[in-house]
Amino acid sequence: MINEAFEHLNTTTRKYMVGLETQPEFRGVNWTAVESQLVSRTPLTGIDDEEKAAWLAVLAIERSNFLLQFETGRLQAEAFQTLETFIADLDADAPNTDTADLGQLYDKEFGKLCDALREEGKRQEKAYEVAIAYLRAQEEVAHVTKDKAKYAKVVEAHKDNVEKMQFELENFQVREGACASIKQRRALQLVLLNQRSSVEHMQHHGELKDLDAGPIISEINQKIQANYLMNSAFSKTMSTMSSPSMNQVVPTEATEVGKITE
């Protein structure tokens, strides 16, 4: 599957480059140098192994979702960096790992991620964001792989990780005061982002003139920035305070895989 996808990508990329080469403004460009910097893949070893292909596809879905959350403002830079480190290590090791050992590899890296969250216990904003973002990515995995038999083993292998992250989130939320404050600012951030998207949509479709949209977007951006700075100040304040270990697991009723309670 992934080989076919990259073959298609390589073909469409070559066609696009040929088109660019004929345009006067690109005369003199070193296209060999350009091509050397592009995303490209040679056929992957063991691609006939459907279970390994499924693992690699799920990792790609997770990584793509983390990036999407970051790019759309739902995930701040530090939290994204933590998740990117987690998934990048998996992406690097998975292709060369025996299929039977992929579940163990994932659990190992997931354990490191949870350890990092516990170490960040005093910086609750970041720990909370990482937990929420991980669970949102699992929602996307569940959506994309639903009713597809070839992903069944991988999805099953993820269930315990999702449950553990839910426990980490519930354990964090036991500190009601801090959690309520974080949730309040996160809710404001998401609504402001939604407002900006709505204004940009109206502007793009001609429902709002550029001269009118500009000041509105600017005001929204200022509020987003102010909310972000408030988040940073809160995180610094919390880092000077003691907090209960995230190792204290709070019993909770079983939740559906990938579903988040913020």
Quickly list DSSP for 31-58: HHHHHHTS---PPPTTTT-HHHHHHHHH
SS3 29: coil
Q: Two tokens at 47?
A: 């691609």
At residue 109, the pLDDT reads: 95
- pLDDT exceeds cutoff 90 at 238: no
Residue 80, pLDDT > 60, answer: yes
Two tokens, residue 229: 């700075």
For the cut 60, the answer to whether the pLDDT of residue 125 exceeds it is yes
Return the percent helix, strand and coil in the chain, to nearest 5.
75, 0, 25
Confidence band for 182, pLDDT divided at 50, 70 and 90:
low
Based on C-alpha coordinates, what's the Rg of the chain? 22
Q: Which pLDDT score is estimated for 178?
A: 54
Residue-level pLDDT at 64 = 92
Q: Is 138 exposed, middle or buried (0-12, 13-18, 19+ CB in 10 A)?
A: buried
Which carries the bigger pLDDT value, residue 73 or residue 235?
73
Contacts of 130 (CB under 8 A, 6+ apart): 79, 82, 83, 113, 116, 117, 120
Q: How far apart are CA 209 and CA 38, in angstroms?
A: 38
**Biggest alpha carbon–alpha carbon distance for the chain:** 66
| Confidence at 39, pLDDT banded by 50, 70, 90 | confident
- Confidence grade of residue 234 (pLDDT, cut at 50, 70, 90): very low
Determine the average pLDDT of the residues in 65-80: 88
Banded model confidence at residue 43, pLDDT cuts 50, 70, 90: low
Full-model pTM: 0.61
pLDDT higher at 84 or 128: 84
